[in-house]
Structures are given as C-alpha cells and as structure tokens.
Amino acid sequence: MRAARLNLVSEEKRLLRHMRSKGPMPRTELALSLQVSNSSLTKLSHNLISLGLVEELAAAEPPVRGRPTVPLAVSPAGGFAAGATVHKGVLEIALVDFAGGVISLTSEQVGAPDPIEFANILEQRISELSLKHKLLGMRFLGIGVGVPGPAVSRKGDQWHTVKDLPGWRDVPLRRILDEALGTSVLLENDAKAAALAEYYSGGTIGKAATVVVILLGYGIGAGVIEDGHLIKGEFGSAGDVGRLYPSDLPRPTTMDLLSVLQQAGCPVLSVAQFEELTAGYEDVIEQWLDRAAVQLESLVNSAIAWFDPDEIVFSSPLPESITSRLAARLNALSLRWPHYRQHGEVRVSTLGGSAIAIGAALLPIHAATALLA
C-alpha cells in the first residue's frame, strides 16, 4: 500500500496541533488563541476541511441571536495509519485514525521473522484489517515500526536490535522494509514510539509540555517529548538509558521480573498469563518492586534534572497493578523535584502493552503534521 503525502504548511500544522491539544473550538476562539485574523483562520480551516483533515461539529447550544458557532475538530476520517512491532516472538499491529483514535489492535505469535518475512506478514494483515474495518478507499497515511533497540545513525537506516531478532541487526533495515512493503516506512525505537503514543493517545497532549516516558519492556529505554517534538539526539539514540545498567546484572525490566519469578519456581513465561500464574508469588514480586524502585530512583532524578518534565510516565506490558505499585514506591522516595515549582509525578500509562504499536502507527501522522523544531 502506497502512502498518501500530506503537504501541509506550518500554519496548517499549527492549527491541527492546537485542535488536538485543546479539543473542538469555534473559528473565532481558534483565531484568538492562535493570534491570527478571522479571515486567515477561515482560509486555513477551509483548506483543511477540503482535505478532510478537519470537520465541523454540531453546535453544542444554539445562540440566542446571530449565527450558531460551529466547533472545528480534527477529523478521524482524515485517514489512517498502521504501526507494528515484533519482540519475543509476538507481532503487534495497530491501526489509528487521523485524530489518533485506535481502530484496531491485534497480536499474534510469529517466532523470529527476518525483515522480509515480517514485511510480508504485515502487508497481509494490513490488507485484512483494512477490509474488516471498511477502510478501503480511505486515505492511507503510512506505516511505522517500533524497533527494539537503538538506531545506529540519526537517519534511522540501521538499528542495533535485540538479539531475539538477529536478521534485523546492523542491516539497512529501512531500505529492506521500504522495498518489501512498496512504500516509505518510518522506523523508531520502541521507547520513543511509546512516548508518541502517550503524547497523542495517553492524555498527555494539552496537559504537559515536557514528558519523559520510560519503557520497561524487553529492556529499558526512554522517550522525551518537548513541546510536541520527539528528542532524537545526535545519532538518534537519545533515551537509550539501558546502557546505565550493566547487561550482566539484573535490570528493572519486564523480562527481569519474569526471570526472577521463574527462578522462584513460577511457571510464568509471558505477561499474557501473568496474573493467572503468579498467585502465591506475591512476596517475590514485592521484593522485585523494592529492588526495581531503588534502581530507577537515580534514573528518574536524572530525568528531572535534565528535562524538568511535568510528569514521568511508566509504559510497560506488565499489569497495571504491578506498575502502579512501582510508581507509588518511586513517588515515596527522594525524588528531586525543584523546590520552587509544583512537584510532578511518576504515573503509569493507561495504554499498557499496546503503546509501542500505537506509537508506531502514529509515526506517519506525527511526521506529516508536527511543527519543525
């Protein structure tokens, strides 16, 4: 499927971002908020409406006199995008609409496919899901992939992926996927993809200008959103916080907790059966939470010092009952929020294990509509 290209000017992107963060607003309020003339706002909104990216909503209440005020909103019908990630033998696929709403979330066992096998499965699943959800004929905005591992270069052509995906490591991954899927594919580190999901779909947009998302998954990574921009770093590896934890020692990750439980005799192999199989191992989990909180304290304090975030979010496929207790432990420790401002918090994402795939699907939308730094 070849992706459509949106050639939007900065003023149109600014209008879209404002509506995403503030919600539906009448034209007069939008013009006032963006400090543009009513005529300029009318021209911008007319073009976005004609493209199907913005829609007019019914007025909440008719005015006593004069013309009714018609709120404008980002239109879900503006298009859709697909995102995917593969790790530990599981392929996760998400479809999202232009407004950031989730259309579909699926997962399946796939073993360890090489990039071409992955692309073939992904292309087939996107076609099947497009038919199932009646998306044929709707503008297709592109494909994003959340990669478990850091980029080798800022361009994101090659990735140092986890060992579970040996066919992906240190190869021209983007070119391989582009050619196999017949369209330009956007790649991003899985933690950064989770950060995008949190920003657009997890309730952060419009509430916090700066947010740090820490992904506790196969490894540990982070993504930083600053005023709508995803911080990349010189070589694209900003947020690769896993290097702070020696690989030969236990790390505060999902895989680490599963390993600890297995060593204690628990038969759990994945998070899919976590709550069912971990009954009776509560003490083991509590001990791990105590250790993980201590390990994460210095990392969280570093994030506070470097980025001054409004909030720090934990994203993980672990059950919310686990991550919320971990967040509570950290909030009770000596987190060094500046004394001269209201303290932020460590909270848990509501997106659970779906964040990477959702964030990957949002990559084409973010790339087409985000303002340049």
CATH number of 10-74: 1.10.10.10
Q: Where are the domains of the chain?
A: 10-74, 79-195+356-369, 203-352
CA dihedral 242, 248, 252, 253 (to 10 degrees): 80
Total-model pTM: 0.92
For 231-283, the pLDDT digits (tens) are: 988 888 889 998 898 878 899 999 999 999 999 999 998 888 888 899 999 99
Quote the CA–CA distance of 79 and 363 in Å, as a whole number: 13
User: Could you give the CA distance from residue 127 to residue 39 in angstroms, rounded to a whole number?
Assistant: 42
For 176-214, what is each residue's pLDDT tens digit? 999 999 999 999 999 999 999 998 887 777 777 889 999
- Domain 79-195+356-369 in CATH 3.40.50.300: no
Are the CB atoms for 94 and 105 separated by under 8 Å?
yes
Pairing status of strand 102-109 against strand 311-315: unpaired
The terminus-to-terminus CA distance of the chain in angstroms comes to 30
**CB of 254 closer than 8 Å to CB of 271:** yes
The string of pLDDT tens digits covering residues 302-357 is: 999 999 998 899 999 899 999 999 999 999 998 999 888 888 889 999 898 899 99
Contacts of 287 (CB under 8 A, 6+ apart): none
- Read off the DSSP letter of residue 6: -
CATH no., domain 203-352: 3.30.420.40
Compute the distance between CA of residue 73 and CA of residue 59 in angstroms, rounded to an integer.
12
Fold: same for 79-195+356-369 and 203-352: yes
Q: What are phi and psi of 371, to 5 degrees?
A: -75, 145
